[in-house]
Amino acid sequence: MSSKEGSGGFRKRKHDNFPHGQRKDEKNNVNSSSSLMVSFKSFQLELDTRHDKYERLVKLSRDITIESKRTIFLLHRITSDPNGEEILNESEAKLEAVRQKIKQVAQELIGEDMYQFHRAISPGLQEYVEAVSFQYFIKTRSLISVKEINKQLIFTMEDKEEETNMPSSNPHDKQLYTWSLKVTPVDYLLGVADLTGELMRMCINSVGNGDIDTPFELSQFLRQIYDGFSYIGNTGPYEVSKKLYTLKQSLAKVENACYTLKVRGSEIPKHMLADVFSTKAEMIDREDGLS
């Protein structure tokens, strides 16, 4: 063992050779009012403030993710519930509550560079895109654009303080405060890629309820999405290229369901179709795992 190492085999630090009292005296002799210490204290305050804001955004993102998932679960009931309009209205109320959470995120990011906090809010935004695009597809059988999503994320509020200070002021002169949060193209693409998994589940649920038209409609729609992602390929962000494999799996399951309906649809009772598709979907998963 080297003479510079202690009994535990670790190298001693240089200041370990100094008495404890001497180190304490040196610490007390630091001039806390010096310009250097003032600068470091301001840096500490700035970093603590930024860290606290980051944690608040992570919590808001988690709430957005949870509420968006609940909206997706609710929308899946539309395949078996005859009151489809009622479910859509309830889902709209849930999405509006999610948008209020996103409004809090927008308020937190006033005067900040959003991309410095993007990792904190990205999971929630992706889940929101998935939920709102799923609802939009059920309503219109088309894909919502990122421009339309961002249009829904513009929030305004009247300045009530001016009204209380000046009771005789003209109500038309109230100042409006505006907040907005833009979903990035990457978050939009990742949310749409996750949407394909929900559409695959919608296909299986529809067949289980005797609806043999929806799977063919979903198959065509998923094929268009897959073709669009194929144009991006490996040139896009890494997260998008990873989602492409899952998207391909979802498309294969839906196309397999359509093939079975076309070839053997008249042979298999409607109440057994969902079980047949579930079994074949598991076989596809195993084959993909071996390849």
pTM of the entire predicted model: 0.77
Which of 183, 200, 216 is where one domain is finished? 183
What CATH number corresponds to the domain at position 188? 1.20.58.200
Stated length of the chain = 291
Query: Does 32 fall in a domain?
Result: no
Do 146 and 202 have their domain in common? no
Instruction: Look at residue 259 and tell me if it is in a domain.
Output: yes
- Residue 247: inside a domain: yes
Q: How far apart are CA 271 and CA 265, in angstroms?
A: 11
Identify the band that residue 19 occupies on the pLDDT scale cut at 50, 70 and 90.
low
> For position 283, what pLDDT does the model report?
47
Q: Verify that 215 and 179 share a domain, yes or no.
A: no
Query: In sequence order, which ranges of the chain are alpha helices (DSSP H)?
Result: 20-28, 35-76, 84-108, 118-140, 146-151, 160-165, 185-208, 214-232, 238-264, 270-290
Annotated binding site: 130, 198
Q: How far is CA 78 from CA 7, 70, 195, 251, in A?
A: 70, 14, 16, 21
Shared domain for 74 and 152, answered yes or no, is yes
**Contact predicate 128/103, CB 8 Å:** no
Q: Are residues 220 and 130 in the same domain?
A: no
Is 40 among the domain residues?
A: no
In this structure, the answer to whether residues 153 and 50 fall within a common structural domain is yes
Task: Kindly calculate the radius of gyration of the chain based on its CA atoms and give it in whole angstroms.
Answer: 28
* Range of the structural domain that residue 145 is part of: 46-158+175-183
**Same domain, residue pair 62 and 179:** yes
With bands split at pLDDT 50, 70 and 90, how would you rate the model's confidence at 177? confident
229: in domain: yes
Residues 6+ apart with CB under 8 A from 125: 61, 64, 102, 183, 184, 187, 191
**pLDDT-based confidence at 260, cuts 50/70/90?**
confident
Would you list the DSSP string of 179-232? Answer: EE-PPPHHHHHHHHHHHHHHHHHHHHHHHHTT--SHHHHHHHHHHHHHHHHHHH
Decide if 34 is inside a domain. no
Backbone dihedral region for residue 9 (phi beyond 0: left; psi -120 to 50: alpha; all else: beta): left
Query: Which of 140, 167, 183 finishes a domain?
Result: 183
Do 193 and 256 fall into the same domain?
yes
pLDDT in tens, 108-137: 999 888 899 999 999 999 999 999 999 999
Total domain count, the chain = 2
Q: What is the pLDDT of residues 208-254, one digit of tens each?
A: 777 788 889 999 999 999 999 888 877 777 888 888 888 888 898 88
Q: Does residue 167 fall inside a structural domain?
A: no
Residue 158 per-residue DSSP state: E
207 shares its domain with 272:
yes
Does the residue 291 lie in any domain? no
Q: What percent of the chain has pLDDT over 90?
A: 42
- 221 and 251 in a single domain? The answer is yes
DSSP conformational letter for 234: G
**Binding site for Mg(2+): residue ranges?**
130, 198
Residue 94 belongs to domain with CATH number: 1.20.58.190
Question: 223 with 138, same domain?
Answer: no
Q: What are phi and psi of 176, to 5 degrees?
A: -105, 130
C-beta separation of 176 from 158 below 8 A? yes
* 52 and 86 belong to one structural domain: yes
Residue 38 CB neighbour total at 10 angstroms: 11
Which of 113, 161, 276 minimizes the C-alpha distance to 207?
276
Specify whether 100 is located in the same domain as 201: no
